[in-house]
Amino acid sequence: MLNTALETAIKVAPTDMNVLILGESGVGKESFSKIIHHLSARKHAPFIAVNCGAIPEGTIDSELFGHEKGAFTGATDKRKGYFETVSGGTIFLDEVGELPLGTQARLLRILENGEFIKVGSSAVQKTNVRVVAATNRDLLERARAGKFREDLYYRLATVPIRVPKLAERKEDIYLLFRKFSSDFSDSHHTPATELNQEARELISNYPWPGNVRQLKNVTEQICVLENGGMLGANTIARYLPPVESSLPILLGKTENYGDGMSERDIFYKVLIDLKRDVNDLKKVVFGLLEGAQPAASMSQSQVLTHIPMPETNHQPVLPMPEAQVIIHQPNQTENEDEFVEAVAYPSNDDNLSLEEKEKEMIVKALDKNKGRRKKAAEALGISERTLYRKIKQYELE
């Protein structure tokens, strides 16, 4: 996928077509804009990168298109904007989706005929600028929400290039690490840094939510603080922030009980146990009904008074209505025997709570893996950080 993006950038570079680079924050979108500029006929002309999201809405028109003296409070001098100073070159508009709607209309006019008007002026000026834009937002979705002009999107996305996130190109992670570590070793005058096989696998399987930017920062920390040499996985792990899923149910392997279960599987098991306990309580209710009086002559309130409900201060694991017994008597015209259907919910003294079952799973996983928390976390299908929190929560230290 990265090769496809690079090939597209190389092919479109010699032309003057507008390019829209798509990708998450930190994947290196600005690097692609520089590749396009340096391989184009404009390579000897100016190149400027503008972060549209970092410029206040009140001044962005002045920054991009310039202003006349006295155009607004504080405009004591005439000023040239980026589109005027970079004429003949390339301008890279990063986070273009953050532009105000008024600025988007001005930009659309430049893309259509190369014309713009300074703030506070009525004179139309010409510019010859190639625009390369980038965003980590869904511009069509923003267009449907009325926050981005759809016609501007199609002008910018003459050639769209999607840069994949680092987690989608694991084979590049170690190569990038070697490149960054070599650069930092030279700039900081530290010994060369190398990784053993386990450390390579660790960084290759790490999700890198901050993409290349995060990898570069972590590599610099390692080069400076570890002072080079051959490093193992335990050393590298200290520099990798824990990454937790934002979902309450974590994904994991679905394995047999005792071999590692995900939290989803534990939850399902609790529901199954709860159903079994409900069925057991049904039998108790039927026994009481048979030993007291015919079910048909008993009211619902009478049946309820015969159900032994143990006292408890615990709260139920799931939100459930109060225990109830539903008595159904068929019409006299039916040929079936009279019957009673009882449905009740058990108290929490008769079945383990979700927390207790979760604690049981954690203890089993720790015992099986001889206290090695990393292995236990993998067996449970959760992160180490989540396991540490659960150990502390259940006082399993």
Backbone angles phi, psi at 193, to 5 degrees: -105, 130
Domains of the chain: total: 3
**Do 276 and 229 share a domain, yes or no?**
no
Nearest to 24 by CA among 248, 207, 203: 207
Whether 186 and 153 share a structural domain: no
Q: Rounded mean pLDDT of the chain?
A: 79
Assess whether 132 and 46 both reside in one domain: yes
Give one DSSP letter per residue of 244-287, joined into a string: --SSSS-------TTS---HHHHHHHHHHHHHHHHHHHHHHHHH
- pLDDT band at 300, cuts 50/70/90? very low
The pLDDT > 90 percentage for the chain reads 51
Higher pLDDT, 29 or 361: 29
Helix, coil or strand: residue 125: strand
Kindly report the CATH number assigned to the domain that includes residue 61.
3.40.50.300
pLDDT at 379 over 90: no
Give the separation between CA 150 and CA 84, rounded to whole angstroms.
25
Spatial contact of 98 and 139, defined as CB atoms under 8 Å apart: no
Same domain, 303 and 383: yes
- Position 124 scores a pLDDT of 93
Q: Which helix (H) or strand (E) holds 131?
A: strand 130-135
Q: Is the pLDDT of residue 317 over 90?
A: no
Stated length of the chain: 397
**Are residues 202 and 324 located together in one domain of the fold?**
no
pLDDT band for position 244 (cuts 50, 70, 90): low
Task: Considering only CA atoms, give the Rg of the chain.
Answer: 33
- CA 210 to chain CA centroid, Å, is 11
13 and 153 in a single domain? The answer is yes
Q: What is the arithmetic mean of pLDDT over 190-211?
A: 93
Query: Residue 178's domain is classified under what CATH number?
Result: 1.10.8.60
Same domain, 267 and 324: yes
User: Residue 176's closest CA among 50, 49, 31, 20?
Assistant: 31
Q: Say what the pTM is.
A: 0.58
Domain span at residue 320 reads: 247-397
Q: Note whether residue 242 is domain-resident.
A: no
Instruction: Write down the pLDDT at residue 265.
Output: 55
39 and 160 together in one domain: yes
Instruction: Using pLDDT thresholds of 50, 70 and 90, give the confidence band for residue 345.
Output: very low
Q: What is the mean pLDDT of residues 298-312?
A: 45
Domain boundary among 237, 271, 295: 237
